[in-house]
Amino acid sequence: MQKRIRVNQLRVGMFVAEVEATDRQDVGSFKPFLVSSNLQVEKMMARHVLTVIIDLSKGADVAPATSSSQHDARAAFNEQILSHYSKRDIRQARQCIEDTRPLIRHILADARLNASFANEAASSAVERIMSAAFDNAGALVAVAKLKEKDELTFLHSLAVSALMITFGRSLGHEEEDVRQFGLGGLVHDLGKMALPDSILTKPGKLTSEEMALVRAHPQRGYDMVSQAAQVPRQVLEICRYHHEKFDGSGYPDRLAGKLIPYAGRLAAICDVYEALTTIRPYKRAFSQAEAIKMMMNFPGHFDSSLLSAFISKMVISGTLH
């Protein structure tokens, strides 16, 4: 049996069958091996590996989780957010999540069942997130970090939207642009709703056909969203270009540098940061420091001047914890 784990869960005694970089991309030549030293784990991180597939028939599994360890992890997380944000901020963030939950669920279900885009529900959700993010962005992103399996897509969409809104504001953009960034963040992965669950949750390595389907999600999302009337250009650009990389090695169009629309370059940073720092039961997230270090070390992935701005305006400033 194979299992996908994050590279920071890798321990001596596990058998690595496959390695994957961001978004399940291949990372060049690789031979399966048994982990015999921590140095090998460090080398994998230096090669920008994010997740690995371990083979449980040839090596150790991750330590089994217990209900008390789950409880401890949640308690530690709650303590951590309480120490950074006021009770009022956390209460307001939770209220925003409750208020937007039916709207975002509706958007996701409409994409999955009808391959269409619920434009009005998305606009209402973004207005709500924009008002919550005014004085409460860090708490909103923090509260959305802790994800159960069935909440994963909903909370990832909401958190990327809140990050895009806050990052856009910190860069001095007009509120109309900020609204478009927020809307784009909310619907950036809508094309994934067309993928079968068997691919999205597959524990082993994807076949090349499955990988091609996953890589089609930006175009698929773009097609869905562009069917709706009067969708702003930057929203479409975020759907289509959030997996392009600055060095031209991304997808779907392999655009490079500033040929990648600006909103797509912003979304790439917010999407990866959110995915790395997400907390799930039994699955340790990367810490903020680890996530930033990894993102700085992904050569050619991001627009480096925008990444520097993200680090100074969102992280060093203390907006996010």
Binding stretches for Fe ion (CB under 5 A): 189
Task: Point out the residue whose Cβ comes nearest to Fe ion.
Answer: 189
Minimum distance, C-beta of residue 243 to Fe ion, in the bound complex (Å): 6
Minimum distance, C-beta of residue 23 to Fe ion, in the bound complex (Å): 7
Nearer to Fe ion, 189 or 244 (CB): 189
Minimum distance, C-beta of residue 239 to Fe ion, in the bound complex (Å): 9
Nearer to Fe ion, 18 or 189 (CB): 189
Minimum distance, C-beta of residue 265 to Fe ion, in the bound complex (Å): 14
Nearer to Fe ion, 62 or 216 (CB): 216
Nearer to Fe ion, 232 or 252 (CB): 252
Nearer to Fe ion, 10 or 295 (CB): 295
Nearer to Fe ion, 110 or 189 (CB): 189
Minimum distance, C-beta of residue 188 to Fe ion, in the bound complex (Å): 6
Minimum distance, C-beta of residue 314 to Fe ion, in the bound complex (Å): 20
Distances (CA, A) of 292 to 181, 259, 279, 314, 321: 21, 25, 16, 11, 12
